[in-house]
Structure 1
Amino acid sequence: MDSPVQIPFKSFIQLKSEDTTALYLQIVFEFIKAIQIGLLPEGTKLPGTRILCKLLNVNRNTLIKAFQDLELQGWIEILPNKGTFILSEKQLKNKPEFISPSTKNTSKVNSGFTFKNSAILENPKETSDLPYQFNDGLPDLRLVQTDVLARLYVSKLKSQKSLKTWEQIQIQSHLNFKTHFSNFLNLTRGIRISASNILTTSSHEISLYLVTKLLISPGDKVIVASPGYYISNMTLTDSGAHIISIPVDKDGISTEKLKEICQKQQIRILYLTSNYHYPTTTSLSAKRRMEVLELANLYGFVIIEDDYDFDFHYDNNPVLPLAALDTNERIVYIGSFGRSLPAGFGYGFIAAPAAFIKELEKHQNILEPGIDVIKEQVLTDWIREGEVHRLSKKNKKIYKERRDYFVSLLKEKLGAKIKFQIPVRGLAIWVEWQNKFNLVQLQKTCASNGLFLPKTVLYQTKDVTATRLGFGHLDKIEMENAITILNTSLETILNDVL
């Protein structure tokens, strides 16, 4: 990595002199937050303490004390005569269960040319060969009806006999797909759009990338919730946004804090996961929904509403997105479709005013110039014939049973050691640990017992020690074994503390 001085520490290490929390603890918590959302990737070399003191405008003794605390907790490693590094992998080299993307790259370290090296973008995902694994809420691809999809896909390929040119087929098929897809969204999510109001992309992440490219200029202030989604935070920061975090409670983001910030600063965007907040799984209350819309109209900011997990709701009357209530066209609605389908069949999408969609298409034509006509025709048939609804109903029944069984295991095995709310949607549960301990130590102990906890599910601050535990990819036996290992590992750590 290039010189660490280039990292924009001031944009994400925000210290408040008026805060009652000791300054060195503020530094500790800000660094932990930056590491967890991916702004300081693993292996990043930090500047020397004298340089960093000038950047953050703090006393060197204060910074050294903070670094000592961070090293003790396992967030950094201080190597004499070499420097300070974020979550160094040196201690994990001899453990085969951890496979870092960097260790897989056998290409030369140095190239014959220079290029930009991002201090923000990173792939925080880890892989493991351990028998049991948690993730942050992914579906079980073993449930996919691959035979049905394959049969439909082959059928469509064989039927492509037409007097029309391939370009004409593409245009007609894509418009047909957008028409059926927009009707599907209107029916399931209560929004009011036509084909001109929607853009489909290859993934949810591509959708967010395109939206930020058009909406954000360097220095624009963007409000996000804390804790938040590490990938969206990286995307927003990389676009040049100045991130401002506001807290989340049982009713969603704090609208009081949102209003306070808007009164003092010009806000460009509010990024919001209103229905199933990542990572805490809370839903924005009805009262705060109306307050958010009122504030957007009053202060003129744009709402990027990310509804990434709408497909997995378990109540008969799901809470509709804010976009369903948007009469002033202040919301850009991003979502996903077909998360239970095989890789390549799912979609990301953007619903927004027609003029904005038209501009987005220009950029998508460079990023994703091709249209998979056959895939769109297959999904159009699935939507038109009701197969999507049948598959969704079947999967929701399975995932609801898994959620309920997972909840029963958490109560039985972990009991008073945890606190959590049962989510009405999604494939993960936000678990808050009642004892104070080092989550990195829990991760290592679980790994030694055969259970993988990726760092993306671990959250630790001054006030909260929590873990986002995905259950959707696990059957009952896998759940039982995973929770048993988790409980055994926790007891080992707590006994060591005592």
Structure 2
Amino acid sequence: MDSPVQIPFKSFIQLDSKSATAIYLQIVFEFIKAIQLGFLPEGTKLPGSRILCRLLGVNRNTLIKAFDDLESQGFIKISASKGTFILSSQKQVVKKEGIRSLPNDLPVAVDFDFKKSNILDNPVEGSDLSLQFNDGLPDARLVHTDVLARLYVSKLKRNRNNGVWEQLQTQAHLNFKAQFCNYLNLTRGLKIAPLNLLTTTNHEISLFLVLKLLINAGDKVVVASPGYYFSNMSILDSGAQIISVTIDEEGINVINLREICKAHQIKVLYLTSVNLYPTTISLSAKRRIEILELAREYRFIIIEDDYDFEFHFDNNTVLPLAAIDTYKNVVYIGSFAKSLPAGFSYGFVSAPPDFIAELEKHQRILASGVDVIKEQVLTEWIEEGEVHRLAKKNKKIYKERRDYFVELLHLKLEGSIKFQVPNQGLAVWIEWLPSFSLIKFQKKCLDNGLFLPKTTLYQNKNLIATRLGFGSLNEKEMENAVAILQKSIAEVLIEIR
């Protein structure tokens, strides 16, 4: 290009003034994405700050703050006499810091047209570092793969020579759904039959199918703020308009939700009620009733996403809204067997039969058949109580890890953070008391050997917080990770002073 002003920044730099993420952080993330996707090639000279501010609709101080972070991470080079350039050695810098980058010789263009989304992103980040936090995943090392393998192979051998395989497939699937319904009714207080249930290969497919049926372009969907990055991205991609509702210590602010309902025609409320993402708060009993009443009064649908029900640590299990929904306004999405290997875990949707029947039509387009062997294995696990024994064992392990992680946070970061001990889930939501840049903190952690994905970082003018998943770390790994957090925050604060 003859001039950097001709670069169509607005086509790939998408800023949302209503987002809980600070604008300068949005600029940082969007520029990094644009560089890694090849929209801003190495050596590109960027426009002057005043021109770029006008193009992006931001003030100059915000842009300068964002560019300071980008330069500190090695993505741009700012020269007072020459201008600002995409750093020619950026790929090498990223690789050195432990973040995986694409091979340099991959082709960047294709010979055909296709749709490109300015909304969808790949929020999954990889790192070669052995020490990493995530947003609350279980530990794959605890899986009894030998037991699963024996069961799977025995089922496969038993059925491979059977001449009525299609008939057995149908019967096995129906048996699995019946057992699965019994399990959900017992553990989550539901009152459903197989006609109320759709099983999917994972939680994300469940949400995708539900949004496909419920959302039309222009529909208004209410989500909590701060919210769930993955689901918000899917909701926006479906063509919906997102409206944020505030949260407090009891979950979603119902007064704020009522004000939104009065001002807008709401189609859907997306809610993680049992373990509010990312803060791990549980919606109080009083607010559960109030939200169901609001849904009936203003005729909106509740998509209840119960992504983490399997991990709760006290005897007062919080049941989902779907368990007390008498008006049938709740579409309940959940996961099952997250502690099993990825291929054995399931997603599911519970809803009225006519809605489930319509979901099944769309599911058949994505996957025409089911893995009947896997379903037979899981049916046996449920029938014999192995799922309950595994859940009880994992509950003890993860509770011990939570308690030890909380102890370390108090010991190493006392005075720098505040948090509540979560009653469920595999992550702790911590709010940082000093004021600093989470991007700089993330880089310090990376330099010190700890990887923090950007999707675990939450920063705006009123909030500096991090969601730290402890479930995948053993005690020694926790000690090392928290020690790095302590060292990194100290280094950041020294630089500020």
State if a TM-score over 0.5 links the two structures.
yes
The answer as to 2:267 corresponding to 1:268 is yes
Q: Please give the alpha-carbon distance, in whole angstroms, between the structure 2 residues aligned to 1:39 and 1:323.
A: 41
Q: Please give the alpha-carbon distance, in whole angstroms, between the structure 1 residues aligned to 2:31 and 2:168.
A: 44
Structure-2 change in CA distance of 1:458 and 1:493 (3 Å): same
The answer as to 2:64 corresponding to 1:68 is yes
Q: Please give the alpha-carbon distance, in whole angstroms, between the structure 2 residues aligned to 1:335 and 1:123.
A: 22
CA shift, 1:490, in A, is 1.1
CA shift, 1:338, in A, is 0.7
Structure-2 change in CA distance of 1:105 and 1:124 (3 Å): farther
* Partner AA of 1:69 in structure 2: K
| 8 Å contact from structure 1 (residues 272, 305) kept in 2 | yes
* Partner AA of 1:13 in structure 2: S
The CA deviation string for residues 373-397 of structure 1, in whole angstroms up to 9 with x for no partner, is 0000000000011000000000000
Question: For 1:416-455, what aligned pairs fall within 5 Å after superposition?
Answer: 416-455=415-454
Counterpart residue number, 1:386: 385
Counterpart residue number, 2:193: 194
Question: For 1:330-479, what aligned pairs fall within 5 Å after superposition?
Answer: 330-479=329-478
Question: For 1:19-418, what aligned pairs fall within 5 Å after superposition?
Answer: 29-30=22-23, 32=25, 41=33, 43=35, 53=54, 63-74=59-70, 92-100=93-101, 103-104=102-103, 106-160=105-159, 165-418=164-417
Match of 1:453, SS state, is: coil
CA shift, 1:13, in A, is 3.0
Structure-2 change in CA distance of 1:168 and 1:108 (3 Å): same
Q: Please give the alpha-carbon distance, in whole angstroms, between the structure 2 residues aligned to 1:234 and 1:70.
A: 23
Structure-2 change in CA distance of 1:278 and 1:33 (3 Å): farther
Q: Please give the alpha-carbon distance, in whole angstroms, between the structure 1 residues aligned to 2:496 and 2:137.
A: 33
Counterpart residue number, 1:21: none
The CA deviation string for residues 414-466 of structure 1, in whole angstroms up to 9 with x for no partner, is 11111000000000000111111111111111111111111111111111111
| 8 Å contact from structure 2 (residues 97, 447) kept in 1 | no
* Partner AA of 2:427 in structure 1: A
* Partner AA of 2:64 in structure 1: Q
Q: Please give the alpha-carbon distance, in whole angstroms, between the structure 2 residues aligned to 1:124 and 1:54.
A: 26
Structure-2 change in CA distance of 1:334 and 1:433 (3 Å): same
Q: Please give the alpha-carbon distance, in whole angstroms, between the structure 1 residues aligned to 2:261 and 2:97.
A: 49
Q: Please give the alpha-carbon distance, in whole angstroms, between the structure 2 residues aligned to 1:163 and 1:343.
A: 28
Give me the identity figure in percent.
56
- Structure 1 window deviating more from structure 2 (114-123 vs 264-273): it is 114-123
| 8 Å contact from structure 2 (residues 202, 346) kept in 1 | yes
CA shift, 1:161, in A, is 5.9
Q: TM-score, structure 1 length as denominator?
A: 0.88
Counterpart residue number, 2:3: none
Structure-2 change in CA distance of 1:50 and 1:490 (3 Å): closer
| 8 Å contact from structure 1 (residues 33, 461) kept in 2 | no
Q: Please give the alpha-carbon distance, in whole angstroms, between the structure 1 residues aligned to 2:63 and 2:361.
A: 47
CA shift, 1:94, in A, is 4.8
Structure-2 change in CA distance of 1:299 and 1:150 (3 Å): same
| 8 Å contact from structure 2 (residues 209, 362) kept in 1 | yes
CA shift, 1:473, in A, is 0.6
CA shift, 1:66, in A, is 2.8
| 8 Å contact from structure 1 (residues 13, 31) kept in 2 | no
CA shift, 1:486, in A, is 1.1
- Structure 1 window deviating more from structure 2 (148-157 vs 119-128): it is 119-128
Q: Which runs of 5+ in 2 are unaligned?
A: 1-6, 41-45
Q: TM-score, structure 2 length as denominator?
A: 0.89
CA shift, 1:106, in A, is 5.0
Q: Please give the alpha-carbon distance, in whole angstroms, between the structure 1 residues aligned to 2:299 and 2:219.
A: 13
CA shift, 1:204, in A, is 0.4
Structure-2 change in CA distance of 1:106 and 1:395 (3 Å): farther
CA shift, 1:307, in A, is 0.3
| 8 Å contact from structure 2 (residues 53, 63) kept in 1 | no
Q: Please give the alpha-carbon distance, in whole angstroms, between the structure 2 residues aligned to 1:173 and 1:393.
A: 27
Q: Please give the alpha-carbon distance, in whole angstroms, between the structure 1 residues aligned to 2:95 and 2:466.
A: 26
Q: Please give the alpha-carbon distance, in whole angstroms, between the structure 2 residues aligned to 1:477 and 1:73.
A: 32
The answer as to 2:17 corresponding to 1:13 is yes
Q: Please give the alpha-carbon distance, in whole angstroms, between the structure 2 residues aligned to 1:3 and 1:180.
A: 54
